Chain A
Amino acid sequence: MPVIEYKCPNCGGGMEFDSGTGMLSCPSCGRKDDIGQIPDPLKQQVFTEDEVKEYHCESCGAVIVTEPETSATSCSFCGSAVVLSERLTGKLAPAQVIPFAISKEEAMAAFKKWCRKGRLTPKGFMTADRVQGITGVYVPFWLYDLHNDIDVHGHGTKVRSYTRGDYRITETEHYEIYRKIRLDYARLPVDASQKMNDELMDKLEPFPYDRLKPFKTPYLAGYIAEKYSYTDEELTPRAKEKTAPYVESYIASTVSGYTTVNLSDKQVHTQVKRSDYVLLPVWMVYYDYNRKPYIFAMNGQTGKIVGKPPISKGKVAAWFAGISGITFLSLKLVAWMMGGGWL
């Protein structure tokens, strides 16, 4: 039985995860179940590899149309929340999940407010009346614990300069620099979904890790969930790439007091101590404007919105003219107050 549904024990209606209370709730009768207390049906299942690859909705019997990455969705015919258990077990079992804290309505309202706030967005876009759809997606992430052993060799100088008589004397002290650094990073998130734009996902950070919960399928009820497209091993280079600038700035912070520093030899050995598969909540907003699709993402916990809105040329020109004009006038005013006249 690869499809899991959440039937209300009271009325038989389909239950969904409620972001407001953090409970599994029944929209028909109002019953609320604490997800931590109820047994997860996933755990009771025996799953065999050669299971059929077609899923049927438990409620209406219709074929559930999904993409190969989807692990949770709703039946396109009857709307019941369904979880495809085979895509959440074994290697694909997430360790933890951060549930949604922002409901669909709140997300929509926040998005509209954000559109109005855009200083360069065209007027027609600001009304946010062409939102094609808003979808709550649990995006697969790997959380890496990285251990870096760093050895740095370099050369530094301290320059002192003074005047004696008719001579300008410059004394340069040369130093050999060595640093051995241990630098650990904990729970560095890397998006493991092929579909999601990496840049967009990076900007959504940070996610509040104190909200991480042991994974249970009811959290997914009513949302879309995806399984990872890349394994933790495949994404390790990306994790290193993400930490590279952090490592650089850390190294730089340990070398101070020099006039010039040239770190000629940097050895960074990165070791993955641990990688956890987690699902993080993201609201995806699809918006058509001037027949062009725009995609925005919202952190399902913090409400941070990212994504490139269209830019109005007129507004850019107006802001540019306004700021330049005001700056010019203020410069003139300063010059005038200093007695410069208006010419």
Chain B
Amino acid sequence: MIRRMKSFWLTTALGLMVLWLMVPAAAQQAAASGDASRLIYDDARLLNQADYDELDAMAREYGAKHEIEIIILTTENPENRDVVQLTEDFYDAQGPGYDKAHGDTIMLTMDMRNRDIYLAGFYKGEEYFDDARLDRIREKMTPLLSAGEYRQAFETFIKTVDRYMNYKPGFNPDNILFNLWFQLGAALAIGGIAVGVMAYRSGGRVTVNGGTYEDSGNSGVLQREDRYIRTTVTKRKIEKSSSSSGGGGGTTSGGHSHSGSRGSF
């Protein structure tokens, strides 16, 4: 009974929240005032109002679904600080988090001055989004960012976060094992091969090999020669990927540990 009451209140609260969010003016107002529930800090003005609203709604929807705060920060970086520093300072100062202040967060920071990008996961975000997963998300976004398709890049970010949250931490979500078509194809292939082998072997198999009739006492290598002739050497310059990346997570000066992936676009 008590549980039912609890869930009733929770639903009501959530419903109210959704209602409140559906009023764009209110959302915009809240955003302007630096409210804790603001998710997209488009200080570099990369998005128009319609895109902003759409992304904001997405971030809220998926954030609520996985109980994680999805934060996007874009900045012209007037003080020319490092993108990791920007991210950490933002987290310490704003204290985003779905469960509590300085809580579960996944964050995307864009430094438009140096064209750097940094992804960071805090707490549950760090658990689910290790450096490798953040690298994958960043790699998906980089081409879009380079092309200036910011809205699409952010959408990719949010959607990928949504998808990756379904996979337990530690596994590669883009593992081919998770692909339905691969699963189907592999299953059919294995079935086909198994039946084919069964049909082929139904008539009996050859169970003799070279060893069966070999007269090993009289067989062998009489003479062998492995004469070295020459060595050829080829040198190839290792191509460096155009968008540099590196660095993982760290700890903010406020003492919050996080995972990370850094790159340029």
B-contacting residues of A (Cβ < 8 Å)?
Answer: 118-121, 145, 147, 156, 163, 166-188, 202-206, 243, 245-247, 249-250, 254, 304-309, 311, 316, 319-325, 327-328, 331-332, 334-335, 338-341, 343
10 shortest A-B CB distances, which residue pairs? A339-B168, A306-B204, A324-B191, A246-B210, A328-B187, A180-B223, A184-B215, A327-B187, A178-B225, A308-B203
Q: Is the CB of A119 within 8 A of B198?
A: yes
Given contacts A167-B237, A308-B202, A338-B171, contact A174 B214 (CB under 8 A): no
Q: Is the CB of A166 within 8 A of B229?
A: no
Q: Once A and B bind, how many residue pairs between them come within 8 Å at the CB atom?
A: 190
**In the docked arrangement, what's the CA distance between A168 and B199, Å?**
48
Among B77-85, B147-155, B173-181, the one that faces the other chain is: B173-181
A163: B residues at CB distance < 8 A: 238
**In the docked arrangement, what's the CA distance between A206 and B208, Å?**
6
**Residue-by-residue, is B82-116 near A (CB-CB < 8 Å gives 1, otherwise 0)?**
00000000000000000000000000000000000
Could you tell me the dominant secondary structure of chain A's interface residues? mixed
Nearest-neighbour CB distance to chain B for A119, whole angstroms, equals 6
Nearest-neighbour CB distance to chain B for A307, whole angstroms, equals 6
**Residue-by-residue, is B209-227 near A (CB-CB < 8 Å gives 1, otherwise 0)?**
1101111001111111111
Given contacts A168-B236, A205-B207, A206-B212, contact A176 B166 (CB under 8 A): no
**In the docked arrangement, what's the CA distance between A188 and B215, Å?**
10
Check if B18 is an interface residue, CB within 8 A of chain A.
no
B188: A residues at CB distance < 8 A: 324
Nearest-neighbour CB distance to chain A for B203, whole angstroms, equals 4
Sample of 20 further A-B pairs with CB below 8 A, known A119-B198, A174-B228, A324-B191: A167-B237, A167-B238, A171-B232, A176-B226, A176-B229, A179-B221, A180-B222, A181-B220, A182-B220, A182-B222, A184-B215, A188-B213, A203-B203, A205-B207, A206-B208, A307-B204, A319-B194, A319-B198, A325-B191, A340-B166
**In the docked arrangement, what's the CA distance between A306 and B243, Å?**
63
Q: Is the CB of A181 within 8 A of B227?
A: no
Q: Is the CB of B218 within 8 A of A120?
A: no
The residue of chain B having its C-beta at the shortest distance from the C-beta of A334 within the complex is B177
B224: A residues at CB distance < 8 A: 178-180, 254
Q: Is the CB of B221 within 8 A of A335?
A: no
Q: Is the CB of B206 within 8 A of A205?
A: yes
Check if B230 is an interface residue, CB within 8 A of chain A.
yes
B209: A residues at CB distance < 8 A: 246
